[in-house]
Structure formats: C-alpha cells, structure tokens
C-alpha cells in the first residue's frame, strides 16, 4: 500500500468516526485565517521531485 493510499484510508476512517459537520466547521475556522495556497518554493520542490519522463508523440 502506498503512503498516499494509507493516508487516504486513515482520513476516511477518521471521518467515519467523528462528526462530519464538526470537522468541516473546524477546517473552515482554520482556513478563515490561514491560506491554503501552496508555498511557491514547496511547489517547485515537489515538481522537481517528479520523475522526468520524455513523451514522444
């Protein structure tokens, strides 16, 4: 199982266990004061970590 699959399953289990409305309320409170935009340097590092595949069309 990949790390992203594990994370998705853990998040799904968490959301099943806890009140969806309460979780949404808390997330909205966070994003009222915090940006959800990815830092440009972090985005660059993520992009650079991807395998460089050459596509021949």
36 Cβ contact partners less than 8 Å away, ≥ 6 residues apart: none
Structure letter (DSSP) for residue 18: S
Q: Is residue 55 part of a domain?
A: no
| Residue 50 belongs to a domain | no
pLDDT tens sequence for the chain (57 residues)? 888 899 899 988 887 887 778 888 998 999 899 888 888 999 999 888 888 776 666
Asked, for residue 22, whether it belongs to a domain, the answer is yes
Q: Which domain holds residue 14?
A: 1-34
Residue 13 lies in a domain: yes
**Does some domain include residue 53?**
no
Domain assignment present for residue 44? The answer is no
Is 8 inside any structural domain? yes
The total number of structural domains in the chain stands at: 1
């Amino acid at each position: 199982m990949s790390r992203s699959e594990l994370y998705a399953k853990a998040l799904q289990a968490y959301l099943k266990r806890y009140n969806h409305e309460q979780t949404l309320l808390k997330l909205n409170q966070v994003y009222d004061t915090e940006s959800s935009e990815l830092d440009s340097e972090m985005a660059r590092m993520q992009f650079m970590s991807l395998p460089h595949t050459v596509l021949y069309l």
